[in-house]
Structure 1
């Protein structure tokens, strides 16, 4: 190991390799490009998925899909409004598809697709506790709260309340939380995830189903 370290320490750029190339004027700072990754351990048939996506997602102009390997893709749009629409509403897929607006200095193979946004229903919370403040506090235990579905007065007087949260998908999904409402013991509330693609019922991860789960195997 020490020999390898010494050899690496002696490496240096050749004179020609050290010459810098200025690409400042060639960079597209506002390119209509989304990077995406399908959360599955299986190989995705990109051609088939892209065909379904273009049918389901009604954009004004067509968009191109490029396979980057390892279930990573690039979506190139002609119109920025189409990109914004897809980024907001996401794209339909059998598997969870995480989208990321690619910056001018980013490389798609180095983007960390660790976060995804979900609408989460909170069931079992008393009606008078279904406030924006309560949704923000509970959602904060899951990740970054992006929106709490409330009326103009800050209430959600229905059977459950809804919050949109950006969550770390490298950890299992949470089934619920214990909340304290001032009584002698905490109360359990259930989480239900809207439009959740394939996920594992055994371990709660979204990058595989139960057939590919190590715990199940």
Structure 2
């Protein structure tokens, strides 16, 4: 799409094409809309998707689904609370494949959306118990993407088998399985990442847009 835009930018515009048209600003309360893309190879049946999601999401009010083709859709909610709940409880999947959602803001166009970010709760396994702190969660989580939340108590510490951080990561790049960390200058240790509610992805390439059957490396 960017390549096409660049090509068009180099064209000489006619008088009609270069004339500007003023339009009214976006309507602020026209609806609460999520744009979605299903990361799967085959074309999905959007009518079936709508029926299934309405039973899974259990929104208080109804929502409408608009099929945009190429496994993309718009979800229009009657109430903001329903939209916010869906975003908060993500990530979501359909038939075990990832559904990426983007909250549409005033002035945004579908042609500009890349659908390349997804938020996960990531479990960090293997840390020394007394190192499971807010600072540790931020340091490790920020190596994965944009930190949204670190699960700790009021003391800034997490007492449990593993830490949990919520991170917005790049859905296009391979998933990171873990990290080498050094605690206070001591020897290095390996910590393992586990992604909660992870749908099908390619275990060879670590990517979420296809599974092993589609991977040349796994042949």
TM-score, normalization by structure 2? 0.88
Q: Say if 1:53 and 1:92, in contact at 8 Å, map to a contact too.
A: no
- The equivalent of 1:65 in structure 2 is 65
Query: Deviation string for 1:83-136 (max 9, x for gaps)?
Result: 111122234522211111112322213301111000000001010000111000
Match of 1:12 in 2: 13
Distance 2:79 2:165 in 1: 30
Match of 2:197 in 1: 195
Deviation at 1:45? 2.3
- In structure 1, what is the Cα distance between the partners aligned to 2:93 and 2:152? 26
Shift of 1:57: 0.9
CA RMSD of aligned residues (A): 1.8
Report the Cα distance in structure 2 between the residues aligned to 1:130 and 1:9, rounded to whole angstroms.
54
Task: Provide structure 1 residue ranges, at least 5 long, that are not aligned to the other structure.
Answer: 1-7
Residues 121, 196 of structure 2: 8 Å contact kept: yes
Which sections of structure 2, spanning at least 5 residues, go unmatched? 1-8
Partners of 2:187 and 2:19 in 1: how far apart? 68
Give the aligned partner of residue 152 of structure 1.
Answer: 154
CA distance in 1, matches of 2:10, 2:50: 47
CA-CA distance at 1:11 after TM superposition: 2.9
Instruction: After TM superposition, list the pairs within 5 Å mapping 1:1-217 onto structure 2.
Output: 11-14=12-15, 16-25=16-25, 27-30=26-29, 31-90=31-90, 91-93=92-94, 94-182=96-184, 184-217=186-219
Q: TM-score when scaled to structure 1?
A: 0.89
Aligned residues: 208
Against the structure 1 CA distance between its residues 50 and 10, is the aligned structure 2 distance closer, same or farther, given a 3 Å change threshold? Answer: closer
Larger Rg: 1
